[in-house]
Structure 1
């Protein structure tokens, strides 16, 4: 009988780390440390392409739009990152 240590499978290989984030209150997980805005939106079934991806700010940090090509580090600082969708701003 083998003893499985935290973070390892019985075969001795390390388990991939899982990163958790939320979009519109729904939990998502990935084994990648960072994802682009486009990759995050691709995980959301039925994403409305007329909406922006918004990252919820922590503390006094404001919420901000995440561009499709922007990398977002999913490492937890203050818990899982939380995103929402909002109609694209039209300043024209």
Structure 2
């Protein structure tokens, strides 16, 4: 049996709770189209996650959520070395 989560916009669901915990509230999961395009390109070039996060000046955890989203939607390919990629870029040269 699959767990189904109530729709987050459902007012009744929220009214039933006395207090809630919002995970990762301090993080920013919004991305511009340009940033998404840049991340997709670097991912598909094999750049490692830490280098991508540094290049786009974002928390690696925020980047990981974007990568999960893009992979689930089929916009980025699976990589043999996964998050590690095949290349680490020297940010001082960028």
Where on the TM-score scale, by shorter chain, does this alignment land: which range? under 0.3
- The TM-score, its normalising length taken from structure 2, stands at 0.23
Structure richer in strand, relative to its length: 1
Structure richer in helix, relative to its length: 2
